[in-house]
Amino acid sequence: MRLLPRDERFFDLFTSVATLNVEAARNLLELFKAEPSRRGHLVESIKRLEHQADGITHELVTRLDRSFITPLDREDIHLLASRLDDVLDRIDGTARRTAIFRAEASPEGAVMLADVIARATEQLLNAVKVLENGKAPVVIAACVEVKRLEEEGDAVYAEWLGRLFDGEKDPIALMKWKEIYDTLEKTLDQAEDVANILESIAIKHS
């Protein structure tokens, strides 16, 4: 029997942001598959998801400030919330770059990296959904897969960035796609950061 209330809604809020990350990553993948003239609504959709995630993250931090007893360490809650939000910020930043740069048809490498990001966000959601139930092996397995996907993404990034420099004759197009590739790679790094935090929390509370 608890003498003081412990706010469990943190887990619902984590799941909400992780779900938005999956939706945004899928939109990003569709964006890179789409014709340039049909990307606008996807860019706007990702921006709306990013705003929603910001609102949920703000609610989570506010709830943390008001909670006397929390289900996880306060530092872990704040770190997980901010890093999950950072993933969507990166996805939004990538989408906005395609619009700002007036990027032409996507090279295959961009589609491949976006696909890896989508799979990584799905694994993060799998981990977040069971965090409340203390299923450390499930959380850790998902985190291990995110780290594997980050390595897969690094290999795709290295190969296709090399192809870009070998084959692109237009220096402006080269600069545009290098920037987009870099942002995609940083998005995967951000997903791995979330996985590291989730793994640490799972081990701590197992």
Q: Domain span at residue 100?
A: 9-204
pLDDT at 172: 95
- Structure tokens given for 143: 């985190």
**Per-residue model confidence as pLDDT tens digits over 153-167:** 999 999 999 999 999
Q: Is residue 186 part of a domain?
A: yes
Torsion of CA 34, 40, 42, 46, to 10 degrees: 140
3 assigned to some structural domain: no
Within a 10 A sphere around the Cβ of 97, how many other Cβ atoms? 18
Spatial separation of the C-alpha atoms in residues 31 and 12, rounded to whole Å: 29
Could you tell me the CATH number of the domain that includes residue 34?
1.20.58.220
pLDDT surpassing 70 at residue 7: no
pLDDT at residue 2 greater than cutoff 50: no
**With pLDDT > 90 as the criterion, what percentage of the chain qualifies?**
83
Domain count, the chain: 1
Is 39 within the bounds of a domain? yes
Say yes or no to pLDDT of 182 above 80.
yes
Of 205, 33, 193, the residue nearest 121 (C-alpha): 193
Q: In this structure, is residue 43 part of a structural domain?
A: yes
Instruction: Please give the model's pTM, rounded to 2 decimal places.
Output: 0.93
- Taking every pair of C-alpha atoms in the chain, what is the biggest distance, in angstroms? 70
Taking only the tens place, the pLDDT of each residue in 64-115 is 888 778 888 889 999 999 999 999 999 999 999 999 999 999 999 999 999 9
Distance, CA of 105 to CA of 142 (rounded, Å) = 33
Asked whether residue 34 is domain-assigned, the answer is yes
With beta carbons less than 8 A apart as the criterion, state whether 99 and 39 touch: yes
Q: Is residue 148 part of a domain?
A: yes
Positive or negative torsion for Cα 71, 76, 78, 80 = negative
- Asked if residue 166 belongs to a domain, the reply is yes
Query: Does residue 4 belong to any structural domain of this protein?
Result: no
Q: Are the beta carbons of 27 and 19 closer than 8 angstroms?
A: no
